[in-house]
Amino acid sequence: MDKKEVQPKPISKKPLNFNVLTVGYPVFSLAFTTKHRLFIGGGGGVNRSGVKNVISLYVLNQRTLEVVQAMEHILPQDEDSVMSMCLHPKSKFIICGKNGTNEEILNGENKSLKVYRLARTNSDVMSVCSSDSMDTYNHSSLSSSFNSLPSADKNDYRLDFIRAARASESKNVSEYQKITEFDHEGRHILTGTTDGTFTLFDSSLRTIFTKTYKNDITDAHFDTKDEKIVVTTTKNVYILDVMDGSLICEINNKSLPVSETSNFRAAKFGCGSSEGILFVIANSLKRNKTFVCKYNTKNWKLISCKQVHNKPITAFTISPNGKLLGYGSADLSLGILSTDKLKTLSRIKDAHGLPCTCIQFTRDSTVIVSGSADGTCRISRVEKYDTGSSFLTFIIFGMIIAVIAALYSQYTDEILTQVDKYSGILNDYSYKYTGKYLLNNKKYDNYDEELFPDDVIENMDNLENNELFEENDNANIQEIEELFTEYL
């Protein structure tokens, strides 16, 4: 008899705690869509033979943390690499901080803010990009946003260049656009350059206002209501009004409650559970301490300041749910902190071969990705940390107590009415067996069994009641217990 062929069982891929993606070029920027599509920007810059300048799109499997490339857009080799990047929240526009050629920079014609739009390879995107404003697409159908991107094979997508604008007047080829960000509605764009120039644009790339600072701009961020902007330089943190750029508050590095002189590295507004807090990163000049300071965004007073690491932080982000802070450090490690107590929840040593240059959470805060100039991206699963359950438990316990108190208040009169109804029986029963009265009721404070009413009929009724109690005492006590059980 022929043996029945045994079919091998399919091998199921187990979820990983992390995965390392090697892209083959220095990574300087990351951006996530809501559907776990990851854009990566970077490259070798100008005149670096063999190292391309690229914007890539990858599809992330959230369960296995594996990634599949869906697009690779090669940028001109005579231009700089992509140093910063952000996705439009409602349409397929991508904005980048990328210098032009050295010649353009030296001639003062460097348009470092560049706008691209993602399209399917077999479509004609230019026919729908005739408007000067990206707001045209804010209220279009869902299919025009990044949320609609299906899983795809490589080369199914392409990037089309739309337009560009100047973000700085610098003619120094070593300066670059470090910060590029949309607001939450896609109506404003902020840029920050290493020469200290901050610019706010509208969606048509028209300049709303420009600020020039003495020190490098290391970070900039919109608040959740798109009413304020925090601009971070090495020496100062500025909070600006979005409408006109007026100064709301300024924080100087000398005001920090730390033992060593420190420079600012980043600042982010809290969101979700950390709404109303500004998180500021400061690295000591001795490079041996890093602090996170929390400020109240209503009065801008310092809430707390805590040392979180012993090496400088090089990249910093906050999770979309507002519960976690992620950072990359100069010692090649990655870390995750809680926003409530700044407690270290996770630290990964030797995450990269070179210091982390950029770091981002997925939109659902379940995965964190870091990029490095070593040409790798580390994709790490975020554990479900207990970042505030004790406080939540306290709130729930308090609510239970409040409900019990309300019920007690509602039924107190009924309970006391029943107690008063049977108080005589209880006292007599207690006195019979213990010689003491159970209830301290005024009606029985001066009770004396030898004193009876003068009227004989009343005296006889009283005696009959006592005899009736002795005959049915067990039944009465049981009824009392049932009443207390019902109301309590």
Whether 3 maps to a domain, the answer reads: no
What's the pLDDT at 456?
44
DSSP-assigned letters across all residues of 156-199? SEEEEEEEEE-------TT--EEEEEE-TTSSEEEEEETTSEEE
Asked if residue 270 is part of any domain, the answer here is no
Here the tokens at position 181 are: 């960000």
How many independent structural domains does the chain possess? Answer: 2
Query: What are the pLDDT digits (tens) for 140-180?
Result: 433 456 655 555 556 678 999 999 999 999 999 999 999 99
Which tens digits make up the pLDDT trace of 373-422?
999 999 999 987 655 544 555 566 667 676 666 665 665 566 556 656 55
Domain boundary among 322, 355, 381: 381
Q: Are residues 80 and 214 in the same domain?
A: yes
Whether residue 375 is found in the same domain as residue 451: no
Judge if 465 and 347 occupy the same domain: no
The model's pLDDT over 197-215, given as tens digits with 9 standing for 90+, comes to 999 999 999 999 999 999 9
pLDDT at 128: 38
Reported as a pLDDT band with limits 50, 70 and 90, residue 452 is very low
423: number of CA atoms within 13 Å, CB side?
15
What is the model's pLDDT at position 428? 62
pLDDT mean over 263-284: 97
The average confidence (pLDDT) of the chain is 82
Q: What is the pLDDT of residues 22-77, one digit of tens each?
A: 999 999 999 999 888 999 999 999 866 679 999 999 999 999 999 999 999 999 99
Q: What mean pLDDT do residues 135-139 have?
A: 49
| Same-domain pairing of 88 and 186 | yes
Answer whether residue 480 shows pLDDT above 90.
no
Summarised one tens digit per residue, pLDDT across range 98-129 is 999 999 999 999 999 999 999 987 765 443 34
* Residue 320 shares a structural domain with residue 452: no
What was the pLDDT predicted at 349?
95
Residue 249 lies in a domain: no
The predicted pLDDT at position 383 comes to: 85
Residue 5 is predicted with a pLDDT of 47
Residue-range definition of the domain harbouring residue 207: 18-235+310-381
158 & 215 share domain: yes
Q: Are residues 338 and 377 in the same domain?
A: yes
Please indicate, yes or no, whether residues 218 and 334 belong to a single structural domain of this protein: yes
Sequence-ordered list of residues with C-beta below 8 angstroms from that of 339, at least 6 positions apart, any chain: 270, 273, 274, 277, 279, 318, 322, 323, 324, 325, 387
Check whether residue 324 and residue 428 sit in a common domain.
no
Gap between the Cα atoms of 451 and 27, Å rounded: 100
The predicted-structure confidence for 315-331, as pLDDT tens digits, reads as follows: 999 999 999 999 999 99
| pLDDT score for 443 | 42
Here the CATH number for the domain that contains residue 203 is 2.130.10.10
In the prediction, which pLDDT does 92 show?
Answer: 93
- Closest to 282 measured CA to CA, from 309, 248, 320: 309
Is there a domain that residue 213 lies in?
A: yes
Q: What angle do CA 195, 197, 199 make, to 5 degrees?
A: 150
For residue 408, being part of any structural domain is answered with: yes
The answer on 397 and 360 residing in a single domain is no
With b meaning 16 or more CB within 10 Å and e meaning fewer, what string describes 101-113? beebbeeeebebb
